[in-house]
Amino acid sequence: MRKRILMLDDNQDVLDVVKEALSYERFEVTITSETENIIESISNHKPDLLMLDYKLGGLRGDEICRQVKAHPALCNMPVIICSAYLNKDDMLACGCDAIISKPFGLDELIDTVNGLLVESVKSESQ
């Protein structure tokens, strides 16, 4: 079964590139720029991994990450925060599993996603 990824960003170009790159790697990718009711959307979509832009219209990525990590049904989902505004200490404080600096290379993106999904499979099997 293909792993499901949900990507939230307010830049359509970034969403399109990420979707194309990860779809090529055989992931099922859903993209959105909507932050309204995002926890409900994540719960309904049930992704294996969540990617968030840090600076969004409305909620910030770190705020969404905190909500995900505090949610009993979502707390074990790996979360990647992508940002050009890097204060890694602030971003790590929200509980994210990885940070990718924008602009990022596709190899870095794919390696980070694969690494987190392999880790989450190992955690589930223990």
pLDDT profile of the chain (126 residues), mean per 10: 94 95 96 92 95 89 95 96 78 88 93 89 56
CA dihedral 107, 65, 63, 45 (to 10 degrees): 100
- Residue 124 CA to residue 33 CA, distance in Å, equals 30
Q: What is the pLDDT of residue 92?
A: 76
Q: What is the pLDDT of residue 106?
A: 93
Q: What is the pLDDT of residue 46?
A: 94
Q: What is the pLDDT of residue 120?
A: 64
Q: What is the pLDDT of residue 125?
A: 55
The highest-level CATH class for domain 4-118 is: alpha beta
Task: Give me the residue spans of the domains in the chain.
Answer: 4-118
- Residues 22, 29: contact at Cβ < 8 Å? yes
Q: What is the pLDDT of residue 84?
A: 84
